[in-house]
Amino acid sequence: MGEILKNKHIILGITGSIAAYKAAYLIRALVKKGAEVQVVITPAGKEFITPLTLSTLSSHPVISEFFSNRDGTWNIHVDLGLWADAMLIAPATASTIGKMANGIADNMLITTYLSCKAPVFVAPAMDLDMFAHPSTQQNLDRLRSFGNHIIEPTSGELASHLVGKGRMEEPDQIVAVLETYFSTQSQLEKKKIVITAGPTYEKIDPVRFIGNYSSGKMGFALAETCAQQGDAQSNEADHNHHLTGIHAAVPLTGWRHPALHG
Ligand SMILES: Cc1cc2nc3c(=O)[nH]c(=O)nc-3n(C[C@H](O)[C@H](O)[C@H](O)COP(=O)(O)O)c2cc1C
């Protein structure tokens, strides 16, 4: 995994959680691996960790406001979204998770998230009851359904001294998640993979055959996973129907089987 994050552009979104101090360790670990880190912090986040610490560790000015000066210049979230190889939001508060799930773009972090074409990783951090609340869980499910990667919090003693699930995952583990993601992605990048799906029929004579009940779900699930880990280029699926079965030649795309996903 040594070089996998080298020269990767990572946007690190930091929000108003007591776990924001861990972002300093995260930046150090990412920079040590050769990644370039651009911090975007929410206004509440700045109450928990100073932009000076973050800009010093990342060697980049920290972005927080839409308008950095009173001279008409503004920060361009769209460019930032395109620059990134990955966006990581760590720690992610319940509030930010809710805004991401519902497109409430009232700060630089959320506008950057909405503009981001790169994979997004979210590391929640909050009290156990906030994390367990159906509203938080629904928002997380929503983010998953958008294709975001949720890095589950761990259980343990929380800042409130209560014990339960809600502690942000440790920085080294978060870096390991990114490394695993990029290593599997680079193995499949630009590869074209043919996956056969569905039943096969073996001809016995002109009117009879031996077949099976395969639904094809396994093949399409494999194709979807390959598509997620590859470099999605096209939205077409090429179905070739052969005498011996259905061969789905699926380019590495975000294509979804209509029968399975409506
Ligand atoms: C001391 C303190 C610690 C907090 N820690 C958390 C936290 O870990 N997780 C969380 O979801 N909210 C936490 N909050 C509440 C958030 O700071 C608050 O919801 C804020 O509006 C989040 O804004 P943001 O998501 O835009 O950064 C905390 C508040 C205080 C005062």
- Condensed to tens digits (0 to 9), the pLDDT of residues 81-137 reads 789 999 999 999 999 999 999 999 999 999 999 999 999 999 999 999 999 999 999
Residues 126 and 218 occupy one common structural domain: no
| Band of pLDDT at residue 235, cut at 50, 70 and 90 | very low
Question: What is the CATH number for 111?
Answer: 3.40.50.1950
Residues 173 and 227 occupy one common structural domain: no
> Atom 25 in ligand 1: which residue has the minimum CA distance?
96
Q: Please determine, for residue 181, whether its predicted confidence score (pLDDT) is greater than 90.
A: yes
| Residue range of the domain that includes 168 | 9-186
| Band of pLDDT at residue 8, cut at 50, 70 and 90 | very high
Q: Please determine, for residue 252, whether its predicted confidence score (pLDDT) is greater than 70.
A: no
Please tell me the number of Cα atoms within 13 Å of 214 on its side-chain side. 18
Q: Give me the pLDDT at residue 241, please.
A: 35
Domains identified in the chain, total number: 2
Of 12, 14, 15, 17, best ligand 1 pocket probe by most atoms within 8 Å of the beta carbon? 17
The phi, psi pair for 110, rounded to 5°, reads: -70, -40
Residues 152 and 196 occupy one common structural domain: no
- Reported for 41-46, long-range contacts at CB under 8 A and 24+ positions apart, including other chains, are 41/13, 41/14, 41/15, 41/109, 42/13, 42/14, 42/15, 42/16, 42/96, 42/107, 42/108, 42/109, 43/16, 43/107, 44/15, 44/16, 44/93, 44/95, 45/14, 45/15, 45/16, 45/17, 45/20
Residues 101 and 153 occupy one common structural domain: yes
First to last CA, the chain: 38
∠ CA 197-199-203, nearest 5°, is 130
Of 69, 148, 212, 235, the active-site residue reads 212
Q: Please determine, for residue 190, whether its predicted confidence score (pLDDT) is greater than 90.
A: no
Q: Give me the pLDDT at residue 75, please.
A: 61
- Condensed to tens digits (0 to 9), the pLDDT of residues 128-173 reads 999 999 999 999 999 999 999 999 999 988 787 888 899 999 999 9
Give the strand pairing for 163-167 and 154-157: antiparallel
262 CA to centre of ligand 1 in angstroms: 38
78 CA to centre of ligand 1 in angstroms: 26
Residue 2 lies in a domain: no
The answer, yes or no, to whether any atom of ligand 1 lies below 6 A from the CB of 38, is no
Last residue of one domain, picked from the residues 166, 186, 206: 186
Residues 88 and 138 occupy one common structural domain: yes
Mean pLDDT of the chain: 84
Residues 180 and 53 occupy one common structural domain: yes
More confident call, 198 vs 225 = 198
Interval 214-224 mean pLDDT: 84
Q: Give me the pLDDT at residue 175, please.
A: 97
73 CA to centre of ligand 1 in angstroms: 29
Interval 182-186 mean pLDDT: 81
Residues 118 and 81 occupy one common structural domain: yes
Residue 106 lies in a domain: yes
| Band of pLDDT at residue 205, cut at 50, 70 and 90 | very high
Q: Is 212 a catalytic residue?
A: yes
More confident call, 79 vs 22 = 22
Residues 174 and 240 occupy one common structural domain: no
- Condensed to tens digits (0 to 9), the pLDDT of residues 36-92 reads 999 999 999 999 999 999 999 999 999 998 876 655 656 666 778 789 999 999 999
Residues 196 and 173 occupy one common structural domain: no
Rounded to whole angstroms, the Cα distance separating 179 from 2 reads 9
Residues 128 and 229 occupy one common structural domain: no
Last residue of one domain, picked from the residues 136, 161, 186: 186
Residues 47 and 177 occupy one common structural domain: yes
Residues 78 and 110 occupy one common structural domain: yes
